[in-house]
A and B are shown apart, each in its own frame.
Chain A
């Protein structure tokens, strides 16, 4: 297990589980269902890519679910006010970026622990979404907007294409730019990075902003898919994203960001959820299995961290 990277095992597990579910349900390995899995996994993976970079830097963002909800409400309000699709998406991205910036200010400037800072933001932003909407969903958008969540290009869902672009961008940032190296360095040894003259605060800020923008993009997919902006739309989004990141091989206490691992872990989680549905298993068990996956991912992450420090 130590020889091969965790993303390999996660990818192999996704394939093995797919074969298992295909034995249970003949519909599982059909082209249509595979597309459905990709479509259903896209929101989680998009959020998880941003979360990967933040967790790599030894941070965390618990406010991504609330971010998803607020961005949805911002978009719904703008569409209802007659704005076009592109300005609406731009406004969502800006909102996500601002929420990321607020998180960064709390963490970097006020030096609040990232867990507590983003927990507070989760409550503040989520509460704000409920106050503004009075808990009532806003629904009924234009066909142009709904196409993002429901449309297809060349047989592939637009959501899956957006997800692919986000994964590619995340992988590029992690692999080819200082942002990726410094995310790992912030998580591995922030003091070392600071002593070597890097602008640690700036890079940390950018990481939270990127994470906020990923949540906004996930909100674009979710809101258009549901054709509705709901104040509780982001429930459990943060937990699923964190589980995906850790399962994908990025250590919860920081280290190298594993974007490919996050992609495979996102697909694995999608396979599990879809497979359980096709197997006719109750949704209560689905949550139980997700909890088990999170637990397993945490144990693996902790063990690998300990093995690393023993050397």
Chain B
């Protein structure tokens, strides 16, 4: 059963087929296939070394896969560069957030794509008004677009990083793909709720969200589907409601799934 059928009428924006990657003699990805549609949150879970980070880096073009195909809105790629991936509407927020602490919120949101006037002058007025508008659209509440990143809390910084990813992913496109690597790691409950709220908002805006997390309770709260990886292989991929937290833990840790039969049935890929 294809993901397209399962999530119809949502558009399938990402399809990965038989993706493989070796680092020397170590097989990090072993023929992984999965898909993602607009307006969907897909969680990739797995223990350390499962291949989660390598998988998302192949999609963002940071790593070149050794085999397989990545399709972005039907366009097939054997490999991507970071720029190409961005041009195709893929944007990622890594754990380090890639923000510049000494610069303000608006400048960080537009980093690398600052609006110009007269061809070379940075249009700060437009940058701030546009940043305020975008943040409001995403329901992100910050003291000011002129606040320095260094003066923001962890949750607020994550929110800025996600907002930038959304802006980049949706530049010139109806719905982009946002990849989030451990978006709530090392955050308190209140901060995590802020970030999870933003991620839910992305689904409502028909963005496609691929997120990697170790926090399984959070995954079960917000993901539409879950893919479980272990040792570079996809063990299971299906709707969140079709699997239990205990089964996911069992698969991640190497124990046999408690409801393997249901997993066989519910697994959509």
Contacts and interface: CB of A to CB of B under 8 A. Distances in A.
A188 interface: yes
Given A176-B122, A177-B122, A181-B107, A196 B102 contact: no
B111 A198 contact: yes
A189 interface: yes
B98 A192 contact: yes
A261 interface: no
A192 B102 contact: no
A197 interface: yes
B112 A198 contact: yes
Interface stretch (B7-15, B113-121, B245-253): B113-121
B151 interface: yes
Q: Counting chain A CB atoms within 10 Å of each CB, which of B101, B107, B150 scores highest?
A: B101
Contacts of B120: 177-178
Interface in A150-203: 176-178, 181, 184-185, 187-189, 191-193, 195-198
A256 interface: yes
A189 B112 contact: no
B114 A176 contact: no
A181 B122 contact: yes
B100 interface: yes
A188 B101 contact: yes
B113 A181 contact: no
Interface size class of A (residues with CB under 8 A): 20 to 34
Give chain B's interface secondary structure class.
loop
Q: Counting chain A CB atoms within 10 Å of each CB, which of B82, B107, B111, B121 scores highest?
A: B111
Contacts, number: 66
A192 B122 CA distance: 19
B121 A181 contact: no
Interface residues of B, number: 24
Interface string B90-119: 000000101111110001000111101000
Contacts of B151: 311
A197 B86 contact: yes
A177 to B, nearest CB: 6
Nearest to A311: B150
A193 B122 contact: no
B239 to A, nearest CB: 33
Interface string A269-311: 0000000000000000000000000000000000000001101
B83 interface: yes
Contacts of B103: 181, 184-185, 188, 256
Given A178-B114, A198-B112, A311-B151, A188 B100 contact: yes
A155 B149 CA distance: 45
Contacts of A197: 82-83, 86, 112-113
Contacts of B82: 195, 197
A188 B102 contact: yes
A255 interface: yes
Given A181-B122, A184-B100, 16 more contacts: A177-B120, A178-B122, A185-B103, A185-B111, A191-B96, A191-B98, A192-B99, A196-B98, A197-B83, A198-B111, A198-B112, A255-B101, A256-B103, A308-B102, A308-B150, A309-B150
Listed from nearest, the 3 A-B pairs whose CB atoms lie closest are: A196-B112, A192-B98, A188-B100
Interface of A: 176-178, 181, 184-185, 187-189, 191-193, 195-198, 251, 255-256, 308-309, 311
